[in-house]
A and B are shown apart, each in its own frame.
Chain A
């Protein structure tokens, strides 16, 4: 797998010189002494540690209490594009390395824990690049009695406190597409979306509507967001609600889901949390069908979270933040490999 790090020698390739050095298969041996050393320098690791302490202080000052939940669990979030790593111990029972601590944290909320946060490791198989590592540090928090609006305010405060960004501008998903593509993501037909995506270089004739929207968001809208310090994108299509509630405003139904983009980099994803166990089951089944359609293994849809939701999840909003990306932005780095000691290729 290639690291796709920032191009250090553009001249080698700019002339199509196929014999240029470095163009041969770059098979880095696992015995290579370079891979014994961290990819981040020690100074960056110290600054990362200080940022971690400041992150904890932010939540402690707001009276969140820090919790710990299993990294290895029987339950798993079913999402077509989140691939958990399954682990089988000697007992033969299958467990999953958690793609986020969401399920277990919500079980604590149902038990009356109040507002909670956690800084832990999450795992997503095969995600590797300048902004991805299959094992990463996630900051996740839930605030009881908070709606999407209140949590968006808190996310903006957090970015200001830890990154020194300007207060986050709020753009609706619809507005963002209209501004950058002159296209309404809620009313445009699939054929129109496919045409725009194809002209932007997307090579997938079987792409579904959400795939087209994701592609356009990642390749056309995000570069526009990069021109701003901090933007909270909110009001996603209901098909992308994941674990968020949906609401109807005017002529559209949107998911009460929001994401923070700092200088164009996706940093946080939050929801006004879905509390209806039946609706969660319906969505998880739908995601499983999509997984099967893409020839991926189906995942168990039953979970202890469902049982807890049947007992009752308090009204709350929650958010997950990629800490490695936060550190990258705080330190002015251009890849998370500069702020992680041993990324997957050195792990």
Chain B
């Protein structure tokens, strides 16, 4: 396994501490005038999502974590388990509801997403940053109102709730940013 020296430290690095996988979400170079160079990091546990503050002195190193992302198709939910499929090997890894977390609200059958493996075991998934989804229900808005600064809640087909402009109607397609659960724009029907 690769090991990273403090000079390689940067945001986005995946490292292993006491056998647990972490993502470096912040790394700052700190050096008191006459003191030693320090790297102040924030490390997020890739499974538990807890954040650790660690400071390393220049020259120390961390072991890289064997973390791999694979594009997979979401197949179905089986009770507490979410079943995915690797379209090339047909492997079907499952994630627990806890591992899927809040992002479950973006899942629909057949969705292509990223599944993260640590030491060969699936630990997390991420939906695409942008998704086009149908509005399942939203209060009817005033006709002709094209203002975008007034919003209302809309429930999309996967069950997630998104704030949309007042002119969006039930049954329309919208493009959303899954990272912020926010509305981007009205989407057109594809291939119809």
Binding site for B on A (CB under 8 A): 1-2, 4, 7, 11-24, 26, 79-82, 126-132, 200-204, 207, 210-211, 214-215, 217-219, 240, 242, 259, 266, 269
Q: Decide yes or no: A1 and B36 within 8 Å by CB, A16-B46, A201-B53 being known contacts.
A: no
Minimum CB distance partner of A267 in chain B: B33
Is A81 in contact with B36, judged by CB distance below 8 angstroms?
yes
Within 8 A of A (CB), among B6-47: 7, 9-12, 14, 23, 25-38, 40, 44-46
B55 near A129 with CB under 8 A, answer: no
With known contacts A18-B67, A201-B55, A4–B46 Cβ distance under 8 A? no
* A22 to B23 CA separation, bound complex (whole angstroms): 13
Interface residues of B in 159-188 (CB under 8 A from A): 179-180
B116 located at the interface, meaning its Cβ lies under 8 Å from any Cβ of chain A in the complex:
yes
CB-nearest residue of chain B relative to A221? Answer: B32
Query: What are some 17 contacts across the A-B interface (CB < 8 A)?
Result: A16-B46, A18-B126, A20-B179, A21-B129, A23-B11, A82-B34, A126-B58, A129-B28, A129-B30, A130-B28, A200-B53, A201-B54, A203-B54, A204-B56, A211-B35, A218-B35, A219-B30
B contact residues around A21 at 8 Å (CB): 129
Let me know if B57 is at the binding interface, CB within 8 A. Answer: yes
**Which B residues lie at the A interface, using CB under 8 A?**
7, 9-12, 14, 23, 25-38, 40, 44-46, 49, 52-58, 60, 67, 69, 103, 114, 116, 124, 126, 129, 179-180
B contact patch SS: strand
Q: How many angstroms between the C-alpha atoms of A284 and B125 in the bound complex?
A: 55
Q: Closest CB-CB distance, B125 to chain A, in whole Å?
A: 9
Q: Are B28 and A11 within 8 A (Cβ)?
A: no
Report Cα–Cα, A26/B9, bound state, in Å: 12
